[in-house]
Amino acid sequence: ETGVTQTPRHLVMGMTNKKSLKCEQHLGHNAMYWYKQSAKKPLELMFVYNFKEQTENNSVPSRFSPECPNSSHLFLHLHTLQPEDSALYLCASSPTSGRDQETQYFGPGTRLLVL
């Protein structure tokens, strides 16, 4: 248990569906991240939020829409996805001060399959 939870753990959706991924962290961190992990590729950073403000969008297609209502919650809204978007989506959080601020703690991920 890393203190970061993600729901759902598995999701199957059609290309015309709209769904949302949820992440919650109980570590008191102020930075949250979305990553995409595809088979045989390094983790790809998608979005970064610091104190609820988006500070990084790593050229992610607009069919992925993040939302961060507070420092503990992060959402990823999905619509009109493509089969190549199938992957493990990971949420992470980190502190924004102190010697541990470069260390990220990950949730268990949501395994997404787009049909």
Partner 1 sequence: TQLLEQSPQFLSIQEGENLTVYCNSSSVFSSLQWYRQEPGEGPVLLVTVVTGGEVKKLKRLTFQFGDARKDSSLHITAAQPGDTGLYLCAGARDYKLSFGAGTTVTVRA
For 103, list phi and psi in degrees, rounded to 5. -95, 130
Query: How far from chain centre, in Å, is Cα 45?
Result: 9
Residues 32-71 that bind partner 1 (CB under 8 A): 40-43, 45, 48, 56
Q: Kindly indicate which of the ranges 1-9, 13-21, 64-72, 79-87 contains the residues binding partner 1, using the contact rule CB under 8 A.
A: 1-9
Q: 70, 77, 101, 113: which one contacts partner 1 (CB under 8 A)?
A: 101
Helical H segments across 1-115, by residue range: none
Contact assessment for residue 10 and residue 68, using Cβ atoms and an 8 Å cutoff: no
Applying CB under 8 A, which residues contact partner 1? 2, 4, 6, 31, 40-43, 45, 48, 56, 88, 90, 92, 94, 99-109, 111
